[in-house]
Structure 1
Amino acid sequence: MAEFVAFVLLLAVAAYACGGGTDYGAGFWDLTAGGAERGKRPRWLIDHAMAPVWEVNNVWLIFVFILMWTGFPVFFQTVFTALWLPFAVAALGMVLRGAGFALRKPSRRLARRRLFGAVFAIASLLTPFCLGAAVGAVASGRIAPGTEASAHAWATPASLLFGLLTVAGTALLGAVFLTADAKRFEAPDLVGYFRIRALAALGAVALTAVGVLLVTRVDAPHVWHGLTHGAGLALAIVSAVFFVATGLFVLRGQTHWARFSAVGIVGAAVFAWGLAQRPYLIPTSLSVADAAGDSQTLLWLSVVSLVALLLVAPAVFFLYWLDTHGELEPLTDSDLRRTGPTRGDAVDGD
C-alpha cells in the first residue's frame, strides 16, 4: 500500500512539474522580454496564454502536500524542518507571483504595472529554483530524520544545480508552449521569437543536466546508481529521446508535437529520479516503508487518490485541452498588433 501511495505522490509531482513548470517558464520569459516597449508584445501573449489555466496547476501541488503529510508524515516533517528556508521562499514566491499576475493587467498606472510585472517575473524564477534546490538536497541524502535546518542541507553544488536544471526545464516548457500559442494565434513574428528561446532553453537543459549527472555521481551515489541501472536508466533514456524529438519538432515548426515531447522530457526525468531513489524517499536514511503512516490511513488515502485520479484528473486535462485548442479565450493577431511589433527578433512564417 505504501508503494502505491508513493507512486501516486510521484505522479502528482510529475504533473505539477509539467503543468506548473509551463507557467513558471512563461514567467521566466516575461522576465527576460526586455523593457516596457520591447516586451509589450511577448508579454501580451504570455498574459493571454496563461490566463485560463495558471491557477488550476496548484491543484497538483496541494495534492502533493496532502499525500506527503497524510501518507508519509515522517518524510513531511523531515523535509519541511531541514529545508524550511527554500520552501518558505518558494511559498512566498507563489503568493507574490499570483498577486503580481492578477494585479498587473487591471492596473492603470504604468509604474504599478511595471512593479506587479516585476514581482510576477522574479517570483517565477525564484520559486522553481528553490523547489529544485530542495529536491537536490533530498536526492543527495544530506537530510535525515532529526536533521536541523542549515544551509549545509541545501546550499550545495547538487542542490544548486538541481535548482538551475529546474529553471531551465520550466523555461523550455514555457517557450515551447508559447511558440505553439503564437502559431495558434497567427502571430508569425512571435513564433520566431519563442522558437529561438525554445532552442536556447534546450541548450540550457542539456548543460545543466550534464552538470547534475556529474555532481550526482559524487554527492548522491545511490541516485546515480539508480539512474544508470534498471528502470531509472530506461526512463532517463526516454527523457533523452524526447529531448532530441523536441529539438527536431521545434526546428521543423511542428509546435503541436513539440508540446507533447517537451512534457515527455520533464515527466520522464521526474520518474527517472523517483525510481532511482527506490526504496528510499530520502537516500539512504528513510525508506518508503519506514516513512509510511498507519495502514488504515494509507488504505483510505489510496481510495481517495483513485477517486481523484478518476474524477479530478480528467477534468483538469480537459481544461488543458480546451485551453491549448483555443476554446476558452479567442485571441487574434489584430489583438496583439495593438501593442506594436517586437523589434529585433526573428520573423518566421511557419
Structure 2
Amino acid sequence: MTADLAAVVLLLAVAAYTCAGGTDYGAGFWDLTAGGAERGKRPRWLIDHAMAPVWEVNNVWLIFIFVIMWTGFPTFFQTVFSALWLPLALAAVGLLLRGAGFAFRKVSRRLAGRRLYGAVFAVASLVTPFFLGAAVGGVASGRVAAGTEAAADAWANPTSLLFGLLAIATTAFLGAVFLSGDARRFEASDLIGYFRRRALASLGVLAVLAVITLFVIADDAPHIRHGLTHGAGLVFVVMAGVAALATAGLLLRTPGTWVRVTAVAVVASGVIAWGMAQRPYLIPTSLTVAEGAGASGTLTWLMVVTLVALVLVVPAVVLLYWLDAHGELEALTDADLRKADGPDGDGAAGTG
C-alpha cells in the first residue's frame, strides 16, 4: 500500500513538473521561433517579463521527482539512469545551459552577447524536453529493464521519438497559452492574438501527434496502448480530450484565467493517463511497483517527509504564482527608483 502511494506521489510530481516546467520550456520554444531581432523583439520582451519572477521555482518539482525515485524506488532509479544516462545527461546539460542563457542574456551589455545567450536559452529549451520525453518513451516501451546496458535503441526508437516530439508540442502549447494571458496582463494587445494563434496551432499539432502515437505504440508498446484504451487510463484520455476542446473554445475568444486551467488539465490528464496505463509496472513489463520499491520503513518515512514538504512548499509556490499573476513581482525600473528617492537621497520621497 505504501509503495502504491509513493508511486502515485511520483506520478503527480511528474505531472506538476510537466505543467510548470513545460510552460517555461514553451516560452523558450517561442523565443526560438520569434524571428530576427526586429521581428522577435516584442515576443521576446514579453517572454523575459513573464518568466523572470518564477522560472527557477519550477525545478523544485524535478528535484522532488529525483528524491522520490532514488529513495522510494532505488531499483527503478538505478535501471533508468544506467540504461538512459545519455539522453538524461543531454537533458541535464540543456537544463543548465538554458538557465545560464536566460540569466546572462538579461545582463549582457553587448548585442552580440545577448544574441548568443538568447540562442543558447532558446535551443536548450527545445533540446531538454525532447530528451526527457525520449527517456520516458524508452521506459514506456519496455526497452529498459534491470541489467540493460546503455544503448541507442533504449531511447532512439519510434516510441521515444514520438514522446520527445509530444514533449516539445506540449511545452509549446502551454507556453503559448500562458503567454497569451501574460500579454493581456502587460497590456500588450498586439501579442494577445499572436500567442493565441500559436496556442491553437500547437494544440492541433499535439492532438495529431497523440493520435499518431496511439497507432505506433500498438506494436511498439502494446501494454501502454492497452492501458490507454481501457479502464482508468481511458478515463484520463477522455478527460484530456474534453479539456482540449474546452481550451480550443476559450482560445477562440479573448483568453482569460480559465483557459490556463483547461490547458493544464489537458497536460496533467495526459500524464496521469500514461501513469495509469503502466499499472502495475514502473517499467512495462519487467518491473512492478512492488518489485521496485524500497524498504517498507523507508517508504513510510518518505511519505511523512513528503507530507511535511508539501505543507511547507506548496503554499509558498502558490503564493509566488499569485503574486506574479497580480503583477506584484515586477522588477523596479529607473523611474521607480527615482520616485522612491527623496531630494536628499534617503528614500523619503516628498519629505525635503
Band of TM-score, shorter chain = over 0.9
CA–CA distance in 1 between the matches of 2:200 and 2:302? 41
CA–CA distance in 2 between the matches of 1:99 and 1:124? 12
Q: Which residue of 2 aligns with 1:290?
A: 291
CA–CA distance in 2 between the matches of 1:260 and 1:108? 38
Q: Which residue of 2 aligns with 1:65?
A: 66
Residues 1:321 and 2:322 are matched in the alignment: yes
8 Å CA contact retained: 2:226, 2:277: yes
8 Å CA contact retained: 1:176, 1:255: no
How far 1:331 sits from its partner (Å)?
9.8
CA–CA distance in 2 between the matches of 1:110 and 1:181? 26
Q: Which residue of 2 aligns with 1:249?
A: 250
Unaligned runs of 5+ in 2: 334-352
How far 1:37 sits from its partner (Å)?
1.1
How far 1:325 sits from its partner (Å)?
2.5
Counterpart residue identity of residue 85, structure 1: L
CA–CA distance in 2 between the matches of 1:42 and 1:90? 25
Give the 3-state SS of the residue equivalent to 2:282 in structure 1.
Answer: strand
After TM superposition, list the pairs within 5 Å mapping 1:1-350 onto structure 2.
1-329=2-330
Q: TM-score, normalised by structure 2?
A: 0.93
8 Å CA contact retained: 1:97, 1:121: yes
CA–CA distance in 2 between the matches of 1:331 and 1:279? 51
CA–CA distance in 1 between the matches of 2:31 and 2:328? 24
8 Å CA contact retained: 1:280, 1:286: yes
| 1:195-243 CA-partner distances (Å, limit 9, x unpaired) | 1111111111011111111112111111111111111100010001110
Give the 3-state SS of the residue equivalent to 1:181 in structure 2.
Answer: helix
Counterpart residue identity of residue 230, structure 1: G
Counterpart residue identity of residue 244, structure 1: L
How far 1:255 sits from its partner (Å)?
2.7
- Distance verdict in 2 for CA 1:169–1:122, change over 3 Å: same
Counterpart residue identity of residue 258, structure 2: W
How far 1:3 sits from its partner (Å)?
0.4
Unaligned runs of 5+ in 1: 333-350
CA–CA distance in 1 between the matches of 2:241 and 2:11? 20
Counterpart residue identity of residue 272, structure 2: F
CA–CA distance in 2 between the matches of 1:243 and 1:101? 30
Give the 3-state SS of the residue equivalent to 1:321 in structure 2.
Answer: helix
Q: TM-score, normalised by structure 1?
A: 0.93
Higher relative contact order (CA 8 A, sep 6+): 1
8 Å CA contact retained: 1:185, 1:331: no
Give the 3-state SS of the residue equivalent to 2:217 in structure 1.
Answer: helix
Name which one, 1 or 2, has greater alpha-carbon Rg.
Answer: 2
How many residues align? The count is 334
Give the 3-state SS of the residue equivalent to 1:281 in structure 2.
Answer: strand
Give the 3-state SS of the residue equivalent to 1:144 in structure 2.
Answer: coil
CA–CA distance in 1 between the matches of 2:318 and 2:25? 18
CA–CA distance in 2 between the matches of 1:308 and 1:14? 17
CA–CA distance in 2 between the matches of 1:205 and 1:315? 32
Counterpart residue identity of residue 279, structure 2: R
Q: Which residue of 1 aligns with 2:345?
A: none
Give the 3-state SS of the residue equivalent to 1:143 in structure 2.
Answer: coil
- Compute the RMSD of aligned alpha carbons: 1.5
Q: Percent identity, aligned pairs only?
A: 71
8 Å CA contact retained: 2:143, 2:154: yes
Structure 1 range deviating more: 322-331 or 72-81: 322-331
Runs of 4+ in 1 over 3 A off after TM superposition: none
8 Å CA contact retained: 1:49, 1:178: yes
CA–CA distance in 2 between the matches of 1:83 and 1:253? 43
